[in-house]
Amino acid sequence: MKKYNFTINGNKYNVRILKVEDNISDIEVNGMKFKVELDKKMSAVAPKTPILVRPQQTPSTESEKSTAKFSSPANPKGSGIVKSPLPGVILDVLVKEGDHVKIGQKLILLEAMKMENNINADREGVIKSVNVKQGDSVLEGDILLQIGA
């Protein structure tokens, strides 16, 4: 830990402080180890450990229930953009531009982590664009296709 050189009454001492816990210290004086107990008043020197101070974080969601977060049942749902839920490879694209799809209809077959995953329509509408083809690799969040009204 720390090394000190003392001269007491003409005698030289090489002192190393090995460990400090509360008011008990393990020290080595000229190669001999000792346990030293300090008075509580003298042991007020705290070890210099950095303290991590983080700013107060506020949650990103609102806790107020007065504002409606959902659309009415008559309005179309979602943004119409279908994104990849996880990274993988496109095994099959089951729709093409201009096709009419219904909620829950299978659109794309995605292989991820050696498992086949169905990507289904979350809304009813017409396929506006298909951004992937069979064999493409996609990352999580990549836009696969877009469904319009």
CA distance 141 to 143: 6
Q: What is the pLDDT of residues 53-70, one digit of tens each?
A: 777 766 655 555 555 555
CA–CA separation, 135 and 97 (whole Å): 18
Tell me whether strands 125-130 and 81-83 are parallel, antiparallel or unpaired: unpaired
Residue 36, pLDDT score: 87
User: How many of the other CB atoms lie within 10 Å of CB of 10?
Assistant: 5
Domain assignments of the chain as residue spans, ordered by start: 2-41, 81-148
pTM score: 0.48
Contact 82, 144 (CB under 8 A): yes
CB atoms within 10 A of CB 89: 14
Q: For residue 58, what pLDDT is reported? A: 63
pLDDT at 22 exceeding the cut of 70: yes
**Residue range 81-148, CATH number:** 2.40.50.100
Query: Above 80 in pLDDT, residue 74?
Result: no
- The average pLDDT across 18-38 equals 86
Q: Which element (helix H / strand E) includes 18?
A: strand 11-21
Strand pairing class (106-112; 88-93): antiparallel
Confidence of residue 110 (pLDDT cuts 50, 70, 90): very high
pLDDT band at residue 43 using 50, 70 and 90 as cut-offs: very low
What is the C-alpha to C-alpha distance for residues 5 and 45, in angstroms, rounded to an integer?
20
